[in-house]
Amino acid sequence: MNYLQTPDIIIFLVYFIIVAAYGYWIFKQKKKAEADTKDFFLAEGQLTWWAIGASLIASNISAEQFIGMSGNGFRLGLAIASYEWLAAISLIIVAVFFMPIYLKNRIFTMPQFLSTRYNETVALIMAVFWLFLYVTVNLTSILYLGTIAINNLVGGSYFHGIMIALALFSLIITIGGMKVIGYTSVIQVLVLLIGGMVTTYVALTLVSEHFGFGKDALAGFNLLLEKVPGHFDMIFDKPTAASSQKEVDNYVSLPGLAMLAAGQWIANLNYWGCNQYITQRALGADLPTARTGILFSAFLKLFMPVIVVLPGIAAFVLHQNGELQEQMMTNGEFREDNAYAAILGFLPTGLKGLTLAALTAAIVASLASKANSISTIYTLDIYKKYFNKEATEQKQVWMGRVVIVVSILFAIIINWKDLLGIGDRGGFEFIQKYTGYVSPVIFAVFLLGFFWKRTTARAALVGIVVGTILSIVFDKVLPLNGQYETWLYTAYPDHKGVYTIPFLVQMGWVFFFTCLVMIIASLLDKNLASRSNTMEIDPSMFKVEPRNLILIVIILVLVLSLYIRFW
């Protein structure tokens, strides 16, 4: 069955034409030559604060949120919103402390920071890490999840065609460079927010109608609080012998206070502060513009759970009461990641087209930003340094475009038959878990590189090796040694009886031991040649402008209020 009517298709096509035309106009309006690498990769000095903030949100809120986080909202409830609300605080830290260091030292890529602070070996190793992570986890999973959602919305028979269409749309935007990505993101975010709010409204009215209260969104929200109060707990209690398997599974995904102690902060601060396709939006701007743009995105993050988590909770309530039985199935199997698409199927004609445009906007913007960052790292930090040191500006830009095409083609090939098994897991957790293999290591290397002058290049290399091994040990070795309750960790069985340590707990310990190893290695390193260059840091860099200080206070008060209300 095709859920889209002619008005929906028209609205979607109009959106496509508007974004493509605007992107082309931005591309033609470039003041610099087309072959300028800083223009193509960074849009240096050409993005306003609101374009930076919008681009950050557009590149972040994608299929893993709309599909994966809504699916987690179906299973876990509002607790999954901690990723969004703590991200707002993480963005404040990045804006105040990280961004001044990057901009003061003219850092344009994350490997460049490592090269400047440590040495080329550290930078090369981490560049390879990032490329592997961005291509095999981020790019592929977002393309897969986005394709699943849109395919379900239009009837379920066009998986491969939709995948190719999404890839082509993102390719069109990406080859125009960062300036095109940045300014088209403003439209993307506007449509994303409107479509997302409409979907949430419809989800809540579906709940209110089901229980006889008519089309009343507020009544629908109150019914969610009444029917599934446990879905509005932000912190899960540690399981006991009397806990159900569902309670155990929930805790493994979001391990209560333990995740707040370290793991979730590491995930957020690494994502927002040490991540090329995020920081890239602000690295080409001056500090006041970059800082305001980042804080603007932090403010917007507070509202994201309304459009990505509430529909999932509404879908859970409806499913528990006999609705959405068919919509939650894919090829005869129940999939929690179908929750968002299940709600979309109930949108009225016309609004489906708008919401489809919003979902496409999120997917395409995120794909474009990730592909551009893959291109940036490979071209500037590998190709230019190791394969063609004499490459001209024009040659580098064309190499960047080739890498974009190759990475998107690779993602299509991987997803054609779901070789990574993304469909077998919750999409959001798939990304978080496998990103978590390297996040603690990356963040440890960056954090000590920022704020401890004695950290050496040799210590960074030791930390990378040890931290990576520890990530594997905590995930694949320790849960299988028969010791399930130790002073270091607790392992829990899944529904098949396979024990696992919550990955957010794993991340906390890997980060701790990586930092410890790096500190010891630095103190023991007597080789002056291994001493690293320190970053240029002036305490005045961290002074915040009054308008930004007001925004920071507002964000912190709102986050605190939300946690007090839903603890």
pLDDT in tens, 488-538: 888 998 877 888 899 899 999 999 999 999 999 999 987 655 555 667 777
pLDDT digits 0-9 by tens, 149-200: 788 777 777 888 989 988 888 887 676 555 666 566 667 677 777 878 888 9
Mean pLDDT of the chain: 83
What is the token pair recorded at 129? 């890490």
Contacts of 182 (CB under 8 A, 6+ apart): 43, 46, 47, 51, 52, 54, 55, 281
The alpha carbon of residue 22 and the mean position of all alpha carbons in its chain are separated, in whole angstroms, by 26
d(CA 560, CA 553): 11
Q: What letters, b where the CB count within 10 A reaches 16 and e where it falls short, cover 358-368? A: bbbbbbbbbbb
Q: Is 350 left (phi over 0), alpha (psi -120 to 50) or beta?
A: left
3-class DSSP state for residue 35?
Answer: coil
Q: How would residue 406 be classed by pLDDT, with cut points 50, 70 and 90?
A: very high
CB 305 within 8 A of CB 81: yes
User: In the prediction, which pLDDT does 265 show?
Assistant: 92
Handedness of CA 291, 292, 297, 298 (dihedral sign): positive
CB 366 within 8 A of CB 62: yes
Q: What letters, b where the CB count within 10 A reaches 16 and e where it falls short, cover 146-179? A: bbbbbbbbbeeeebeebbebbbebbbbbbbbbbb
Closest CA to 509 of 533, 491, 524: 491
pLDDT at 35 over 50: no
Domains and CATH numbers, the chain: 6-14+48-423 (1.20.1730.10), 436-536 (no CATH)
Q: What letters, b where the CB count within 10 A reaches 16 and e where it falls short, cover 479-499? A: beeeeeeeeebbbbeeeeeeb
Q: Please report, as a single letter, which amino acid is at residue 299.
A: F
pLDDT digits 0-9 by tens, 41-89: 554 455 688 878 877 887 677 666 777 788 889 999 999 999 899 999 9
pLDDT at 294 over 70: yes
3-class DSSP state for residue 438?
Answer: coil
d(CA 374, CA 448): 25
What is the token pair recorded at 285? 């701007």
Closest CA to 158 of 356, 407, 426, 16: 356
CB 216 within 8 A of CB 205: yes
CB 103 within 8 A of CB 324: no
Whole-number percent of the chain with pLDDT over 70 = 88
Whole-angstrom CA distances from 89 to 32, 41, 77, 94, 293 are 36, 27, 21, 9, 14
pLDDT at 1 over 50: no
- Residue 330 bridge partners (DSSP): 333
Closest CA to 457 of 533, 381, 513: 533
d(CA 288, CA 544): 9
Q: Is 482 left (phi over 0), alpha (psi -120 to 50) or beta?
A: left
The alpha carbon of residue 99 and the mean position of all alpha carbons in its chain are separated, in whole angstroms, by 19
pLDDT at 464 over 90: yes
For the chain, how many residues are written? 567
Q: How many CB atoms lie within 10 A of CB 409?
A: 12
Q: Side-chain half-sphere of 434: how many Cα atoms within 13 Å?
A: 21
Secondary structure of the chain: what % helix, strand, coil (to 5)? 75, 0, 25
d(CA 314, CA 344): 12
pLDDT at 393 over 90: no
pLDDT digits 0-9 by tens, 360-378: 877 877 787 788 888 888 8
Q: How would residue 201 be classed by pLDDT, with cut points 50, 70 and 90?
A: very high
Residue listed under structure tokens 């974004």: 19
Q: Which residue has the higher pLDDT, 302 or 526?
A: 302
Long-range residue pairs from 251-258, CB within 8 A, at least 24 positions apart, any chain: 251/492, 251/502, 252/492, 252/494, 252/500, 252/502, 253/72, 253/75, 253/76, 253/80, 253/429, 253/502, 254/76, 254/79, 254/80, 254/82, 254/504, 255/502, 255/504, 255/505, 258/502, 258/504, 258/505, 258/508
Contacts of 505 (CB under 8 A, 6+ apart): 255, 258, 259, 263, 489
d(CA 435, CA 427): 12
Lowest-pLDDT range of 208-222, 259-273, 481-495, 548-562? 481-495
